[in-house]
Chain A
Protein backbone atom coordinates (compact mmCIF):
# COMPACT_ATOMS: atom_id res chain seq x y z
CA UNK A 1 0.00 0.00 0.00
CA UNK A 2 2.04 2.91 -1.27
CA UNK A 3 -0.61 5.56 -0.72
CA UNK A 4 -3.37 4.92 1.81
CA UNK A 5 -5.12 8.10 0.68
CA UNK A 6 -5.38 7.27 -3.02
CA UNK A 7 -8.94 5.97 -2.68
CA UNK A 8 -11.79 7.09 -0.43
CA UNK A 9 -15.50 6.54 0.13
CA UNK A 10 -16.84 9.51 -1.86
CA UNK A 11 -19.55 8.63 -4.39
CA UNK A 12 -21.30 11.15 -6.64
CA UNK A 13 -24.29 10.67 -8.90
CA UNK A 14 -24.45 13.56 -11.40
CA UNK A 15 -27.91 12.39 -12.50
CA UNK A 16 -29.31 13.74 -9.22
CA UNK A 17 -27.48 17.09 -9.31
CA UNK A 18 -29.68 20.19 -9.33
CA UNK A 19 -26.80 22.59 -9.88
CA UNK A 20 -27.07 24.44 -6.56
CA UNK A 21 -23.25 24.51 -6.26
CA UNK A 22 -23.37 23.97 -2.51
CA UNK A 23 -20.78 21.16 -2.74
CA UNK A 24 -18.38 23.51 -4.50
CA UNK A 25 -18.87 26.09 -1.73
CA UNK A 26 -18.38 23.80 1.25
CA UNK A 27 -15.50 21.60 0.05
CA UNK A 28 -12.15 22.68 1.56
CA UNK A 29 -10.16 20.78 -1.08
CA UNK A 30 -11.89 21.78 -4.33
CA UNK A 31 -13.04 18.24 -5.03
CA UNK A 32 -16.04 19.52 -7.04
CA UNK A 33 -16.20 22.09 -9.81
CA UNK A 34 -19.16 23.56 -11.67
CA UNK A 35 -19.29 22.32 -15.22
CA UNK A 36 -21.99 24.33 -16.87
CA UNK A 37 -25.12 23.85 -14.78
CA UNK A 38 -23.99 20.70 -13.00
CA UNK A 39 -21.36 19.89 -10.42
CA UNK A 40 -18.50 17.72 -11.62
CA UNK A 41 -16.28 15.52 -9.51
CA UNK A 42 -12.87 16.64 -10.71
CA UNK A 43 -10.48 15.97 -7.83
CA UNK A 44 -11.87 12.95 -5.96
CA UNK A 45 -8.48 11.92 -4.61
CA UNK A 46 -8.24 15.11 -2.53
CA UNK A 47 -11.39 14.22 -0.56
CA UNK A 48 -10.84 14.04 3.20
CA UNK A 49 -14.29 12.59 3.93
CA UNK A 50 -15.42 15.50 6.11
CA UNK A 51 -18.98 14.99 4.89
CA UNK A 52 -19.80 18.67 4.29
CA UNK A 53 -20.91 18.13 0.68
CA UNK A 54 -23.17 15.20 1.51
CA UNK A 55 -24.84 17.04 4.38
CA UNK A 56 -25.49 20.13 2.25
CA UNK A 57 -26.66 18.33 -0.88
CA UNK A 58 -30.44 18.68 -0.98
CA UNK A 59 -30.96 16.03 -3.65
CA UNK A 60 -28.77 13.35 -2.07
CA UNK A 61 -26.47 13.16 -5.08
CA UNK A 62 -23.41 12.75 -2.86
CA UNK A 63 -22.58 9.92 -0.46
CA UNK A 64 -19.48 9.60 1.69
CA UNK A 65 -18.66 7.65 4.84
CA UNK A 66 -17.72 10.76 6.74
CA UNK A 67 -15.56 10.91 9.81
CA UNK A 68 -12.44 12.50 11.20
CA UNK A 69 -9.14 11.16 9.89
CA UNK A 70 -7.41 11.16 13.24
CA UNK A 71 -5.34 8.13 14.25
CA UNK A 72 -5.00 9.33 17.86
CA UNK A 73 -8.79 9.43 18.32
CA UNK A 74 -9.31 6.07 16.62
CA UNK A 75 -6.59 4.43 18.72
CA UNK A 76 -8.16 5.84 21.87
CA UNK A 77 -11.59 4.58 20.80
CA UNK A 78 -10.12 1.13 20.11
CA UNK A 79 -8.32 0.99 23.46
CA UNK A 80 -11.29 2.12 25.52
CA UNK A 81 -13.78 0.07 23.53
CA UNK A 82 -15.89 3.09 22.63
CA UNK A 83 -17.78 3.07 19.40
CA UNK A 84 -17.81 6.77 19.02
CA UNK A 85 -14.56 8.52 18.25
CA UNK A 86 -14.04 11.29 20.77
CA UNK A 87 -11.11 13.63 21.17
CA UNK A 88 -10.36 16.86 22.97
CA UNK A 89 -9.47 18.77 19.84
Chain B
Protein backbone atom coordinates (compact mmCIF):
# COMPACT_ATOMS: atom_id res chain seq x y z
CA UNK B 1 0.00 0.00 0.00
CA UNK B 2 1.11 3.53 -0.67
CA UNK B 3 0.22 6.01 2.01
CA UNK B 4 0.36 9.77 1.57
CA UNK B 5 3.31 10.16 3.93
CA UNK B 6 5.52 7.89 1.82
CA UNK B 7 4.78 10.01 -1.23
CA UNK B 8 5.42 13.37 0.38
CA UNK B 9 8.43 12.39 2.49
CA UNK B 10 11.93 12.39 1.01
CA UNK B 11 12.65 9.08 -0.75
CA UNK B 12 13.99 6.47 1.60
CA UNK B 13 17.06 4.69 0.33
CA UNK B 14 17.99 1.38 1.96
CA UNK B 15 21.69 0.60 2.29
CA UNK B 16 23.04 -2.75 1.07
CA UNK B 17 26.38 -4.42 0.35
CA UNK B 18 27.91 -6.92 -2.08
CA UNK B 19 28.62 -9.36 0.70
CA UNK B 20 26.38 -12.33 1.39
CA UNK B 21 26.16 -13.25 5.06
CA UNK B 22 25.61 -16.66 6.64
CA UNK B 23 22.03 -15.58 7.22
CA UNK B 24 21.59 -14.84 3.51
CA UNK B 25 22.96 -18.29 2.64
CA UNK B 26 20.66 -19.95 5.14
CA UNK B 27 17.74 -18.09 3.56
CA UNK B 28 18.87 -19.33 0.11
CA UNK B 29 19.05 -22.87 1.43
CA UNK B 30 15.50 -22.66 2.81
CA UNK B 31 14.25 -21.23 -0.49
CA UNK B 32 15.90 -24.07 -2.42
CA UNK B 33 14.37 -26.79 -0.26
CA UNK B 34 10.96 -25.13 -0.46
CA UNK B 35 10.57 -24.03 3.15
CA UNK B 36 8.36 -20.95 3.62
CA UNK B 37 7.88 -20.57 -0.11
CA UNK B 38 6.82 -17.09 -1.07
CA UNK B 39 8.29 -15.58 2.08
CA UNK B 40 11.78 -15.01 0.76
CA UNK B 41 11.12 -11.37 0.08
CA UNK B 42 12.57 -7.99 0.85
CA UNK B 43 11.05 -4.54 0.97
CA UNK B 44 10.49 -3.06 -2.51
CA UNK B 45 12.14 0.30 -3.09
CA UNK B 46 15.48 1.88 -3.83
CA UNK B 47 18.70 0.40 -2.43
CA UNK B 48 22.16 1.96 -2.39
CA UNK B 49 24.83 -0.59 -3.17
CA UNK B 50 28.15 0.61 -1.78
CA UNK B 51 28.56 4.39 -2.17
CA UNK B 52 26.73 5.40 -5.33
CA UNK B 53 26.76 8.91 -6.83
CA UNK B 54 24.05 10.56 -8.98
CA UNK B 55 25.91 9.16 -12.01
CA UNK B 56 25.94 5.55 -10.81
CA UNK B 57 24.01 2.92 -12.75
CA UNK B 58 20.53 1.80 -11.65
CA UNK B 59 19.77 -1.92 -11.73
CA UNK B 60 16.24 -3.26 -11.50
CA UNK B 61 15.32 -6.57 -9.86
CA UNK B 62 12.56 -8.51 -8.08
CA UNK B 63 11.86 -8.51 -4.35
CA UNK B 64 12.83 -12.19 -4.14
CA UNK B 65 15.93 -12.63 -1.98
CA UNK B 66 17.59 -15.08 -4.40
CA UNK B 67 17.22 -12.55 -7.24
CA UNK B 68 18.34 -9.54 -5.19
CA UNK B 69 21.29 -11.41 -3.66
CA UNK B 70 22.42 -12.81 -7.02
CA UNK B 71 22.47 -9.26 -8.37
CA UNK B 72 24.25 -7.50 -5.51
CA UNK B 73 26.85 -10.25 -5.02
CA UNK B 74 27.64 -10.22 -8.76
CA UNK B 75 28.28 -6.46 -8.61
CA UNK B 76 31.26 -6.70 -6.31
CA UNK B 77 33.41 -3.57 -6.60
CA UNK B 78 30.67 -1.66 -8.41
CA UNK B 79 28.67 1.11 -6.75
CA UNK B 80 25.13 1.63 -7.91
CA UNK B 81 21.45 1.77 -7.14
CA UNK B 82 19.14 -1.21 -7.09
CA UNK B 83 15.47 -0.58 -7.76
CA UNK B 84 13.57 -3.48 -6.19
CA UNK B 85 10.12 -4.05 -7.68
CA UNK B 86 7.25 -5.60 -5.77
CA UNK B 87 6.93 -9.00 -7.46
CA UNK B 88 5.32 -10.68 -4.45
CA UNK B 89 8.52 -12.53 -3.64
CA UNK B 90 8.70 -14.13 -7.09
CA UNK B 91 11.85 -14.29 -9.25
CA UNK B 92 12.33 -11.99 -12.25
CA UNK B 93 11.44 -14.38 -15.07
CA UNK B 94 8.33 -15.90 -13.50
CA UNK B 95 7.18 -12.48 -12.29
CA UNK B 96 7.66 -11.08 -15.81
CA UNK B 97 5.48 -13.92 -17.12
CA UNK B 98 2.76 -12.85 -14.70
CA UNK B 99 3.30 -9.16 -15.39
CA UNK B 100 4.19 -8.27 -11.79
CA UNK B 101 7.73 -7.54 -12.95
CA UNK B 102 6.19 -5.20 -15.46
CA UNK B 103 5.83 -1.80 -17.03
CA UNK B 104 3.27 -0.50 -14.51
CA UNK B 105 5.27 -1.62 -11.49
CA UNK B 106 8.45 0.01 -12.83
CA UNK B 107 6.64 3.28 -13.52
CA UNK B 108 5.06 3.22 -10.06
CA UNK B 109 8.33 2.39 -8.32
CA UNK B 110 10.26 5.10 -10.20
CA UNK B 111 7.67 7.64 -9.04
CA UNK B 112 7.46 6.45 -5.43
CA UNK B 113 11.24 6.38 -4.95
CA UNK B 114 11.64 9.69 -6.82
CA UNK B 115 14.47 8.08 -8.72
CA UNK B 116 14.65 11.07 -11.04
CA UNK B 117 15.83 13.21 -8.12
CA UNK B 118 18.35 10.65 -6.93
CA UNK B 119 20.22 10.11 -10.19
CA UNK B 120 21.18 12.54 -12.96
CA UNK B 121 21.06 10.11 -15.86
CA UNK B 122 17.91 8.51 -17.27
CA UNK B 123 18.76 4.85 -17.70
CA UNK B 124 17.52 1.67 -16.04
CA UNK B 125 19.42 -1.59 -16.48
CA UNK B 126 16.99 -4.51 -16.44
CA UNK B 127 17.70 -8.22 -16.44
CA UNK B 128 16.93 -9.53 -19.92
CA UNK B 129 14.47 -12.04 -18.48
CA UNK B 130 12.32 -9.18 -17.19
CA UNK B 131 11.41 -8.37 -20.82
CA UNK B 132 8.30 -10.60 -21.04
CA UNK B 133 6.63 -8.16 -18.61
CA UNK B 134 8.14 -4.86 -19.70
CA UNK B 135 7.61 -2.69 -22.76
CA UNK B 136 10.79 -0.60 -22.83
CA UNK B 137 9.27 2.13 -24.99
CA UNK B 138 6.30 2.44 -22.61
CA UNK B 139 8.59 2.95 -19.63
CA UNK B 140 10.44 5.64 -21.57
CA UNK B 141 7.22 7.38 -22.48
CA UNK B 142 5.84 7.34 -18.96
CA UNK B 143 8.94 8.00 -16.82
CA UNK B 144 11.58 9.46 -19.12
CA UNK B 145 13.90 6.56 -18.25
CA UNK B 146 15.45 4.46 -21.02
CA UNK B 147 15.33 0.74 -20.42
CA UNK B 148 18.48 -1.17 -21.24
CA UNK B 149 18.26 -4.94 -21.17
CA UNK B 150 21.37 -6.35 -19.55
CA UNK B 151 22.47 -9.98 -19.66
CA UNK B 152 20.32 -12.95 -18.60
CA UNK B 153 22.60 -13.80 -15.69
CA UNK B 154 23.76 -11.32 -13.06
CA UNK B 155 27.26 -12.84 -13.06
CA UNK B 156 27.77 -11.47 -16.58
CA UNK B 157 27.05 -7.89 -15.46
CA UNK B 158 30.64 -6.78 -14.75
CA UNK B 159 31.69 -7.86 -18.26
CA UNK B 160 28.53 -6.33 -19.73
CA UNK B 161 29.06 -2.97 -18.01
CA UNK B 162 32.40 -2.44 -19.78
CA UNK B 163 30.74 -2.01 -23.18
CA UNK B 164 27.00 -2.06 -22.42
CA UNK B 165 26.56 -4.64 -25.12
CA UNK B 166 25.75 -8.28 -24.42
CA UNK B 167 27.41 -11.10 -26.30
CA UNK B 168 25.07 -13.73 -27.82
CA UNK B 169 26.10 -16.08 -25.00
CA UNK B 170 24.97 -13.56 -22.39
CA UNK B 171 21.57 -13.41 -24.09
CA UNK B 172 20.97 -17.15 -24.27
CA UNK B 173 19.22 -19.21 -21.61
CA UNK B 174 20.53 -22.72 -21.23
CA UNK B 175 19.41 -25.39 -18.80
CA UNK B 176 22.60 -27.11 -17.64
CA UNK B 177 22.77 -29.96 -15.13
CA UNK B 178 23.56 -27.60 -12.29
CA UNK B 179 20.41 -25.56 -12.91
CA UNK B 180 18.34 -28.73 -13.12
CA UNK B 181 19.81 -30.17 -9.92
CA UNK B 182 18.96 -27.17 -7.72
CA UNK B 183 15.28 -27.63 -8.58
CA UNK B 184 15.07 -31.17 -7.21
CA UNK B 185 14.90 -30.44 -3.43
CA UNK B 186 11.76 -28.29 -3.77
CA UNK B 187 10.00 -31.08 -5.65
CA UNK B 188 11.05 -33.62 -3.02
CA UNK B 189 9.57 -31.38 -0.31
CA UNK B 190 6.34 -30.97 -2.25
CA UNK B 191 5.82 -34.64 -3.11
CA UNK B 192 7.04 -36.13 0.18
CA UNK B 193 3.76 -36.32 2.09
CA UNK B 194 1.52 -37.54 -0.76
CA UNK B 195 4.13 -40.18 -1.66
CA UNK B 196 4.41 -41.34 1.93
CA UNK B 197 0.65 -41.59 2.15
CA UNK B 198 0.49 -43.61 -1.10
CA UNK B 199 3.27 -45.89 0.14
CA UNK B 200 1.43 -46.60 3.39
CA UNK B 201 -1.86 -47.36 1.61
CA UNK B 202 -0.07 -49.58 -0.90
CA UNK B 203 1.69 -51.46 1.89
CA UNK B 204 -1.69 -52.68 3.14
CA UNK B 205 -2.86 -53.47 -0.39
CA UNK B 206 0.16 -55.21 -1.81
CA UNK B 207 3.01 -55.28 0.71
CA UNK B 208 6.33 -53.50 0.80
CA UNK B 209 7.16 -54.06 -2.89
CA UNK B 210 4.07 -52.09 -3.84
CA UNK B 211 5.10 -49.30 -1.43
CA UNK B 212 8.55 -49.29 -2.95
CA UNK B 213 7.03 -49.12 -6.44
CA UNK B 214 5.20 -45.91 -5.54
CA UNK B 215 8.37 -44.36 -4.15
CA UNK B 216 10.39 -45.51 -7.20
CA UNK B 217 7.88 -44.08 -9.68
CA UNK B 218 7.92 -40.69 -7.91
CA UNK B 219 11.71 -40.80 -7.51
CA UNK B 220 12.06 -41.41 -11.26
CA UNK B 221 9.78 -38.46 -12.00
CA UNK B 222 11.26 -35.85 -9.70
CA UNK B 223 14.91 -36.86 -9.30
CA UNK B 224 16.01 -39.01 -12.25
CA UNK B 225 13.94 -37.13 -14.83
CA UNK B 226 15.46 -33.64 -14.31
CA UNK B 227 18.95 -35.14 -14.30
CA UNK B 228 18.47 -37.25 -17.44
CA UNK B 229 16.25 -34.76 -19.33
CA UNK B 230 18.57 -34.00 -22.29
CA UNK B 231 19.49 -37.63 -22.81
CA UNK B 232 16.05 -39.24 -22.64
CA UNK B 233 14.84 -40.11 -26.16
CA UNK B 234 11.87 -38.40 -27.89
CA UNK B 235 10.90 -34.69 -27.70
CA UNK B 236 7.82 -34.64 -25.52
CA UNK B 237 8.11 -34.65 -21.74
CA UNK B 238 5.30 -37.19 -21.40
CA UNK B 239 6.98 -39.74 -23.65
CA UNK B 240 10.36 -39.14 -22.02
CA UNK B 241 8.68 -39.81 -18.68
CA UNK B 242 6.88 -42.88 -20.00
CA UNK B 243 10.17 -44.35 -21.20
CA UNK B 244 11.96 -43.62 -17.92
CA UNK B 245 9.04 -44.84 -15.80
CA UNK B 246 8.71 -47.89 -18.05
CA UNK B 247 12.33 -48.89 -17.44
CA UNK B 248 11.90 -48.58 -13.68
CA UNK B 249 8.60 -50.47 -13.84
CA UNK B 250 10.25 -53.23 -15.87
CA UNK B 251 12.52 -54.04 -12.90
CA UNK B 252 9.49 -54.37 -10.65
CA UNK B 253 7.63 -56.47 -13.23
CA UNK B 254 10.56 -58.87 -13.62
CA UNK B 255 10.91 -59.15 -9.86
CA UNK B 256 7.43 -60.71 -9.70
CA UNK B 257 8.63 -63.74 -11.68
CA UNK B 258 11.81 -64.01 -9.60
CA UNK B 259 10.12 -63.63 -6.24
CA UNK B 260 7.15 -65.87 -7.00
CA UNK B 261 8.19 -68.69 -9.33
CA UNK B 262 5.52 -70.86 -7.72
CA UNK B 263 2.57 -68.63 -8.70
CA UNK B 264 0.16 -69.46 -11.52
CA UNK B 265 1.18 -67.68 -14.75
CA UNK B 266 -1.89 -65.44 -14.82
CA UNK B 267 -1.13 -64.17 -11.34
CA UNK B 268 2.51 -63.48 -12.25
CA UNK B 269 1.51 -61.66 -15.44
CA UNK B 270 -1.28 -59.79 -13.66
CA UNK B 271 1.00 -58.43 -10.97
CA UNK B 272 3.70 -57.57 -13.48
CA UNK B 273 1.10 -55.64 -15.47
CA UNK B 274 0.14 -53.63 -12.38
CA UNK B 275 3.64 -52.19 -12.24
CA UNK B 276 3.94 -51.75 -16.02
CA UNK B 277 0.67 -49.84 -16.25
CA UNK B 278 0.58 -47.73 -13.09
CA UNK B 279 4.22 -46.72 -12.59
CA UNK B 280 5.07 -45.15 -16.00
CA UNK B 281 1.87 -43.09 -15.80
CA UNK B 282 2.99 -41.57 -12.48
CA UNK B 283 6.49 -40.84 -13.74
CA UNK B 284 5.18 -39.38 -17.00
CA UNK B 285 2.74 -37.13 -15.16
CA UNK B 286 5.51 -35.78 -12.93
CA UNK B 287 7.73 -35.35 -16.00
CA UNK B 288 5.00 -33.33 -17.70
CA UNK B 289 4.71 -31.19 -14.56
CA UNK B 290 8.42 -30.39 -14.88
CA UNK B 291 7.73 -28.37 -18.06
CA UNK B 292 7.15 -25.20 -16.02
CA UNK B 293 10.55 -25.57 -14.35
CA UNK B 294 12.40 -25.69 -17.64
CA UNK B 295 13.66 -22.72 -19.60
CA UNK B 296 12.30 -23.57 -23.03
CA UNK B 297 8.78 -25.05 -23.18
CA UNK B 298 6.09 -23.04 -24.98
CA UNK B 299 2.55 -22.81 -23.67
CA UNK B 300 0.97 -24.08 -26.90
CA UNK B 301 3.38 -27.04 -26.91
CA UNK B 302 2.63 -27.97 -23.30
CA UNK B 303 -1.09 -27.70 -24.03
CA UNK B 304 -0.74 -30.06 -27.00
CA UNK B 305 1.12 -32.50 -24.75
CA UNK B 306 -1.49 -32.30 -22.02
CA UNK B 307 -4.39 -33.07 -24.35
CA UNK B 308 -2.48 -35.85 -26.08
CA UNK B 309 -1.10 -37.74 -23.08
CA UNK B 310 -2.98 -37.01 -19.85
CA UNK B 311 -5.96 -39.21 -20.83
CA UNK B 312 -3.57 -42.10 -21.59
CA UNK B 313 -1.81 -41.57 -18.25
CA UNK B 314 -5.13 -41.61 -16.40
CA UNK B 315 -6.32 -44.75 -18.17
CA UNK B 316 -3.16 -46.80 -17.70
CA UNK B 317 -2.83 -45.70 -14.09
CA UNK B 318 -6.49 -46.50 -13.43
CA UNK B 319 -6.31 -49.96 -14.97
CA UNK B 320 -3.05 -50.73 -13.15
CA UNK B 321 -4.51 -49.65 -9.84
CA UNK B 322 -7.70 -51.62 -10.49
CA UNK B 323 -5.61 -54.73 -11.20
CA UNK B 324 -3.85 -54.22 -7.88
CA UNK B 325 -7.20 -54.08 -6.12
CA UNK B 326 -8.41 -57.22 -7.93
CA UNK B 327 -5.34 -59.14 -6.82
CA UNK B 328 -5.94 -58.18 -3.20
CA UNK B 329 -9.03 -60.37 -3.35
CA UNK B 330 -7.94 -63.06 -5.82
CA UNK B 331 -5.03 -64.86 -4.24
> In the complex, which of the residues A25, A26, A72 contacts B289, with contact meaning CB atoms closer than 8 Å?
A72
Give B234 Cβ to nearest chain A Cβ, in Å. Answer: 7
| Residues of A12-59 contacting chain B, CB below 8 A | 22, 24-30, 46-52, 55-56, 58
B102-142 interface code vs A (CB 8 A; 1 in, 0 out):
00000000000000000000000000110111111100000
**Are A5 and B299 in touch, CB under 8 angstroms?**
no
Q: In the complex, how many angstroms separate the beta carbon of A2 from the nearest chain B beta carbon?
A: 7
Asked whether any CB of chain A lies closer than 8 Å to the CB of B300, the reply is: yes
B51 contacts the other chain (Cβ, under 8 Å)? no
CA distance A5 to B38 in the complex (A): 31
Interface of B is mostly: helix
- Does B231 make an interface contact (CB < 8 A)? no
On chain A, the residues within 8 Å of B308 by CB distance are: 1, 4
Q: Which of A1, A8, A71, A73 has the most CB of B within 10 A?
A: A71
Number of residue pairs spanning A and B whose beta carbons lie under 8 angstroms apart: 135
Per the bound structure, the CA–CA distance linking A55 and B306 in Å amounts to 27
A68 cross-chain contacts in B, Cβ below 8 A: 94, 97-98, 292, 299
Q: Residues of A contacting B48 with CB < 8 Å? A: none
Q: Which residues of A contact B37 (CB under 8 A)?
A: 88
Contacts of B302 in A (CB 8 A): 4, 69-71, 74
Give the chain B neighbours of A49 by CB distance below 8 A.
298-300
Cβ-defined contact, B297 with A48, below 8 A: yes
Measured CB to CB, the nearest residue on chain A to B129 is: A28
- Let me know if A9 and B300 touch, CB within 8 A: yes
Instruction: Return A55 CB to nearest CB of chain B, in Å.
Output: 5
A66 with B168: in contact, given A58-B137, A89-B292 (CB under 8 Å)? no
- Is A81 located at the chain interface by the 8 A CB criterion? no
Name the residue on A nearest B292 (C-beta): A70
Chain B residues, CB < 8 A from A56: 131, 134-137
> CA–CA, A46 to B305, complex, Å?
17
Residues of chain A within 8 A (CB-CB) of B306 are: 71, 74-75
> How far is the CB of A79 from the nearest CB of chain B, in Å?
12
Q: Is A3 an interface residue (CB 8 A)?
A: yes
Those of A69-87 within 8 Å (CB) of chain B:
69-75, 86-87
- Residues of B close to A70: CB separation below 8 A: 291-293, 297, 299, 302
Task: Tell me the nearest residue of chain B to A2, going by C-beta.
Answer: B235
Measured CB to CB, the closest approach of chain A to B289, in angstroms, equals: 4
Say yes or no: A69-B301 contact (C-beta < 8 A), given A25-B166, A46-B296, A88-B38: yes
> Which listed residue (A25, A47, A86) contacts B128, Cβ 8 A?
A25
Can you give 11 contacting A-B residue pairs, CB < 8 Å?
A1-B236, A2-B235, A5-B301, A7-B300, A26-B132, A29-B173, A55-B132, A69-B302, A70-B292, A72-B291, A89-B91
Q: Besides the contacts A25-B128, A30-B171, what 20 more A-B pairs have beta carbons closer than 8 Å?
A: A2-B235, A4-B305, A5-B297, A8-B301, A24-B171, A26-B132, A28-B128, A28-B173, A50-B96, A50-B97, A56-B135, A65-B299, A66-B299, A69-B294, A69-B297, A69-B300, A71-B237, A71-B305, A88-B37, A89-B90
Closest 5 CB pairs of A and B: A70-B292, A67-B299, A69-B297, A52-B131, A26-B131
